[in-house]
Chain A
């Protein structure tokens, strides 16, 4: 029993982190209709920038204040993400208004290459660490209730809480603020939005900035967990079934999808895995998403796809 709960919890925590990356996909898709494959590269660049800026700041400050160094790192990384957003809008998206989905998808792959190259050129390609003071050792709880207790990871817990706060904030931002409404309008129809006076270019910069900040949070959490290095880009592949399961256009969908995928893949790996030789969690996540799609082709929370002739 205790083990089952642990696996569930582990799945939920992982799911929350997937959701964080998935959120980046959803935000950009909602606001510009672009399926942004560069999200993984953005996580990498954000985490690299954060790790290196705080490292340099720490060295410059003589190692006195880790907190200050981290704040400088986060600000520096934020600036980098802003530059990325501005550059993407100025040099790429602006020239590709009204193109098909496949073209835009391909362009984001180009952006991903450029970001990976630039990020590693400026910040290096070794392993760097982000130390934001996350507790690493586990605690055992509920020992009285369940035999052996339930092991809980404080780091995961804090990360999940952070993710939850971020998601809540973004939902409010999208639903309640004027900018959020403008973003949704742009997503629905570029031309209509423009004709009622919404500045397309500015909106895109904003949404890529927001996605960049989400990538930064994801990068800090993942980076602090596993160290900052190139493999962070592969996290995006783990987050894809999440987006699909939850629906490409839904912020809450990313969260629920993340939790379902997280729990599903951990339970499958732990309980079904040993029977077939293990290593099944990746495809299991995708198959889960696929099965959901067969019943709801737009994902759990996506807007209904209506076909008109």
Chain B
């Protein structure tokens, strides 16, 4: 009823090539961004910002980067945590070693450093594919874990290997309060999501998708696999690296290599698969699922227990959290193997027809 595109005519190619061809979609997304930028800072409290929203935003940005590689170019990676770490430590070094380095530039340079290593570790993808590649990228992960622990130069010779950043400032704006940090992250996420969306619609994105669907066929029609694959690695690592810098600078404030361990890599891959491979929206769904659900379960289960008059032990809750989390992953994948984003688009499809079933 409400969601219907009757009467929306496209009279030019430009209109037909917009990101959101349906007006309702466009208004919905714009409204969402406006709400996120204006409404949320008014409504949310400090806990929500620090513990839920900021991690969610940063990890969705990272998941977005991983999705470019895994979902659009079909190269499974388990080394995303390493690229986050490279982004964070590189940005840290730029900040510490160069006086007067602007924060945003340092973060972007961190992303560039990550992109460089992304190309390096992407080289095996020219020979190796599928699960073999996934495990090969773990080499990057463990190598980086080790390097940041062992090589003192990266951490500015801090004896414990843990580094921390001083005050954050961009364009004379002190990023202090949780709401400001949230807005800072939001700005990054919105810009990168838009860039990513356009990138995937452009020639290079279509090349990636051709490689993903069938690389031999893509080669036959004139796509250079080396260029396509390595560019996917570079762009993906860049986004992941910037997300890593945000994670370290904005969310944690001080961090050690364990913040970017192999668990983080797995987590990011989960987000992409659960959210939906090859979907920008899916990265956000996936991040929401993986970040928010455990926190929710952790708080909801004691509440549920008290409703039925049982006090559940902390260990019991955390075990139950594992079980429910795992079961939900299985449940969603059985219902929709292509991820939450697919469910979203099915829902939209249904809404367009509603209330008429056919």
Is chain B in direct contact with chain A in the complex (CB below 8 A)?
yes
A residues in contact (CB < 8 Å) with B: 35, 91-92, 95-96, 99-103, 105-107, 109-118, 120-121, 125, 237, 240-241, 243-244, 248, 276-280, 282-283, 286-287, 289-290, 293-294, 297-299, 305, 307-309
Would B321 and A117 count as touching, CB distance under 8 A? yes
**Does any Cβ of A come within 8 Å of B288's Cβ?**
no
| Residues A35 and B131 in contact in the complex (CB < 8 Å), given A96-B337, A110-B333 | yes
**Does any Cβ of A come within 8 Å of B203's Cβ?**
no
**Does any Cβ of A come within 8 Å of B185's Cβ?**
no
| Residue in contact with B132 in the complex, picked from A92, A96, A244, CB distance below 8 Å | A244
| Residues A294 and B270 in contact in the complex (CB < 8 Å), given A114-B330, A283-B139 | no
**Does any Cβ of A come within 8 Å of B138's Cβ?**
yes
Q: Which residues from chain B contact A237 at a C-beta distance below 8 Å? A: 138, 262
**Does any Cβ of A come within 8 Å of B315's Cβ?**
yes
Would A106 and B273 count as touching, CB distance under 8 A? yes
Task: Add 6 more A-B contacts to A110-B329, A282-B146 (CB < 8 A).
Answer: A101-B130, A280-B146, A283-B142, A290-B124, A307-B215, A307-B216
B residues in contact (CB < 8 Å) with A: 70, 76, 124, 127-132, 135-136, 138-139, 142-143, 145-146, 149-151, 214-217, 220, 262, 266, 270, 273-274, 277, 315-316, 319-323, 325-330, 333-334, 337-338
Q: Which residues from chain B contact A279 at a C-beta distance below 8 Å? A: 146, 149-150
Would A290 and B136 count as touching, CB distance under 8 A? yes
| Residues A117 and B333 in contact in the complex (CB < 8 Å), given A283-B146, A290-B124, A309-B220 | no
Q: Which residues from chain A contact B142 at a C-beta distance below 8 Å? A: 282-283, 286
Would A117 and B323 count as touching, CB distance under 8 A? yes
Distance (Å) between the CB of A29 and the closest chain B CB? 8
Would A309 and B266 count as touching, CB distance under 8 A? no
| Residues A102 and B277 in contact in the complex (CB < 8 Å), given A120-B319, A283-B142 | yes
Most buried by A among B130, B266, B319, B326: B326
Would B315 and A293 count as touching, CB distance under 8 A? no
Could you list 9 A-B pairs, sorted by A, with CB under 8 Å? A103-B338, A107-B329, A107-B334, A110-B333, A113-B322, A113-B323, A241-B138, A277-B151, A279-B150
| Residues A121 and B139 in contact in the complex (CB < 8 Å), given A106-B274, A109-B329, A307-B215 | no
